[in-house]
Structure 1
Amino acid sequence: MIELEPRVLLAIDDEPAILEVVKVCLEITSPWQVVGAATGHEGLTAAAQQRPDGILLDISLPDLSGFEVLEKLQSCPSTQTIPVILLTANVQRADLGRYSTLQIAGILAKPFDPMRLAPQIATYLGWSL
């Protein structure tokens, strides 16, 4: 039997509680490994070094906006193919047009239901649970 490596999800969020909830919930409810980063710069470094299978990216970060991080990820050959799900507390109808022009896998709104997080991510990324 071939042992497959677990998928790795990079969660980039400046709120330690959110990172912890994402990590604990996904590691309990999915076979995935979760790596956390608290700033946009940390996230970019982690993405380049670890080459995660997917990224959960908060829009509001202290150093770079999530949009800036997304732009940098998509302009770098080593990270441009990694699918990104945006995480935001501000999903406004007016923003949906802007989001629809981005090359993202999906959008998750805060607050989110921790027990539905894995199925939502799996749906957006086409992963198995």
Structure 2
Amino acid sequence: MKHSNFSIAVTEFLDQSNLQRRPEIELLREVILETCPNLFESIKWNGPNYSDDGKDRISMRIFPNNQLQLIFHLGAKSTKIVEPSRIPDSLGLLIWKSADRALIDFPNSDRILSTKTSLAEIIQNWIQLNKEIGAE
């Protein structure tokens, strides 16, 4: 099912990219926009990107073709720090790369489907935390 908030530009970009993991990308798009329908979807760094109030918050890494990740960040020039304990992650999905950035790997569609509820909680908490700390 296509979500009503899907960006036409993102869909066209994906149509032109001929990606092996397109069904999984679409599933992640649905999870993100169903969880936070006010996020704005665009293309940044050759993949779907999600911003809140004009500030980038979640980026999808879709290249190389066999890789699929969600990158949770505070924006390109953030000086803020996130304590991992502020983002509940009972399944241990988040891989913290720095004090302001974490990612989740999706090696297959089963991981998306089996973690959908936890993923939605992480997305909601990430967006809320960004607002609370006033991330750039």
Q: TM-score range by the shorter chain?
A: 0.3 to 0.5
Normalised to the residue count of structure 1, the TM-score between the two structures is 0.40
Greater per-residue helix proportion: 1
Please, what TM-score do these two structures have when normalized by structure 2?
A: 0.38
**More strand, by proportion:** 2
